[in-house]
């Protein structure tokens, strides 16, 4: 699946697949729930989590667009 056309907020996430971004987001959330040792670390984790969530959303929007296009094509062929 090609990379979605919407830009990531964090260039460090732009090469991640949906699964990679999702798995890292889960790790970030778990670490935040455990409590980082400093406020700065917590903020860095939060920012990374936001970028990862945006990347996941990009993939989901791209997938929805592809599904909508496939449905439209199938509908046109069925007529």
> Burial level of 16, CB count in 10 A (0-12/13-18/19+)?
buried
pLDDT at position 20 is: 98
pLDDT at residue 31, rounded to an integer: 95
Cβ-in-10-Å burial (0-12, 13-18, 19+) of 13 comes to buried
Give the SS3 label for residue 29.
Answer: helix
Question: What confidence tens digit (pLDDT) does each residue in 9-66 have?
Answer: 555 999 999 999 999 999 999 999 999 789 999 999 999 999 999 999 999 999 999 9
């Amino acid at each position: 699946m090609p990379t979605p056309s919407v830009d990531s907020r964090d260039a460090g996430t732009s090469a991640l697949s949906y699964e990679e971004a999702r798995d890292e987001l889960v790790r970030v959330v778990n670490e935040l729930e455990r409590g980082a040792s400093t406020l700065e670390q917590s903020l860095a984790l939060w920012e990374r989590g936001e970028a990862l969530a945006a990347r996941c959303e990009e993939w989901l929007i791209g997938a929805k667009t592809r599904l909508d296009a496939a449905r439209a094509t199938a509908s046109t062929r069925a007529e």
